[in-house]
C-alpha cells in the first residue's frame, strides 16, 4: 500500500496497475446482454479469471427542466429490482447517433414527449468500472416543452412525473434510487450553481 497526498487526482495514474488479458471468451450474447469472460495476468504475475465483463453501448440520462421550472421525471417498473422506481429519462447511444447528445434528445422525447432547447453535458460516469465496459453521459436540458406523442418500446410502460425544480435536491436525496440518476441530478445542480 502506498499513501498518496493528492490534490489533482486525475494525474499520475500508475500504468503498472493494469492487467494483461491472456484469454477472452464470449460467454453470452443476445439482443439484451453481452458478457465476456477474461483471464488476466496481474502486474505481479498472478493469473486471475474468469473475470466477467458486461458489454454495453454507452448510455445517456437527462435532467430536463421545463420552461415553467419543473423537472421531467419518469416512473416505471424495473424488473432487476422488482420495483416501480422514479428515474431520469435515458437510454442507450445508438450507432446512428453522431453525438451522445443526440441520444439524450431522442430518449427524452421518446420517453416523456418533452423536448428541450439547451442541452449541456454535466458529467460522464461509469455504471460500475469493475463489471461494465461502458460509460453514461449526463445532460442537463433547460426550457423543455411537451412536443410530441409519447413513443415507447414494447416493454416500456412509463409515467411522466413533473416535480418543481425547488424540490429537486430533496427528491434526489430521498426519492431517487438509481445511482447514475442520483449522481446526474447532483452534477446538474452543481452546474446550475456554478453557471446559473
Write the interaction track for a copy of itself spanning residues 120-159; mark x where CB under 8 A is met and - where it is not: ---xxxxxxxxxxx-xx-------------x---xx-xxx
d(CA 80, CA 129): 19
Q: Does 20 bind a copy of itself (CB under 8 A)?
A: no
Q: Which is nearer to a copy of itself, 51 or 97 (CB)?
A: 51
Q: Does 17 bind a copy of itself (CB under 8 A)?
A: yes
Q: Which is nearer to a copy of itself, 76 or 102 (CB)?
A: 76
Which one among 84, 118, 147, 148 touches a copy of itself, defined by CB under 8 A?
84
Grid coordinates 454507452 are at which residue? 58
Opening angle at CA 132, ends 128 and 135, nearest 5: 75
Q: Which is nearer to a copy of itself, 30 or 98 (CB)?
A: 30
Sign (positive or negative) of CA dihedral 27, 29, 32, 36? positive
Piece in contact with a copy of itself (CB under 8 A), picked from 4-12, 93-101, 102-110: 4-12
Piece in contact with a copy of itself (CB under 8 A), picked from 2-10, 93-101, 102-110: 2-10
Residues 91-110 that bind a copy of itself (CB under 8 A): none
d(CA 37, CA 193): 43
31 contacts: CB under 8 Å, gap ≥ 6: none
- Least distance between a copy of itself and beta carbon 117 (Å): 20
Strands 34-41 and 20-29: antiparallel
Q: Does 14 bind a copy of itself (CB under 8 A)?
A: yes
Q: Per DSSP, what are the bridge partners of residue 35? A: 28, 54
Q: Which is nearer to a copy of itself, 98 or 149 (CB)?
A: 149
Q: Per DSSP, what are the bridge partners of residue 52? A: 37
Residues 52-81 that bind a copy of itself (CB under 8 A): 52-54, 73, 75-81
- For the CA atoms of 146, 147, 149, 152, the dihedral, rounded to the nearest 10 degrees, stands at -80
Amino acid at each position: 500500500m502506498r499513501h498518496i497526498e493528492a490534490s489533482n487526482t486525475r494525474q499520475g495514474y500508475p500504468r503498472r496497475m493494469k492487467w494483461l488479458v491472456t484469454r477472452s471468451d464470449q460467454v453470452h450474447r443476445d439482443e439484451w446482454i453481452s458478457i465476456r469472460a477474461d483471464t488476466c495476468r496481474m502486474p505481479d504475475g498472478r493469473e486471475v479469471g474468469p473475470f466477467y465483463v458486461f458489454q454495453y453501448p454507452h448510455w445517456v440520462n437527462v435532467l430536463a427542466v421545463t420552461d415553467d421550472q419543473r423537472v421531467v421525471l419518469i416512473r416505471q417498473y424495473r424488473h432487476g429490482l422488482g420495483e416501480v422506481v422514479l428515474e431520469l429519462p435515458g437510454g442507450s447511444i445508438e450507432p446512428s447517433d453522431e453525438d451522445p447528445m443526440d441520444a439524450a434528445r431522442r430518449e427524452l422525447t421518446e420517453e416523456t414527449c418533452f423536448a428541450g432547447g439547451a442541452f449541456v453535458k454535466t458529467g460522464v460516469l461509469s455504471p460500475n468500472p469493475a463489471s461494465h465496459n461502458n460509460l453514461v453521459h449526463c445532460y442537463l436540458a433547460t426550457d423543455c416543452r411537451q412536443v410530441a406523442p409519447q413513443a415507447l418500446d414494447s416493454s416500456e410502460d412509463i409515467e411522466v412525473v413533473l416535480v418543481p425544480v425547488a424540490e429537486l435536491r430533496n427528491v434526489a436525496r430521498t426519492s431517487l434510487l438509481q445511482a447514475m440518476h442520483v449522481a446526474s441530478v447532483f452534477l446538474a445542480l452543481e452546474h446550475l450553481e456554478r453557471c446559473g
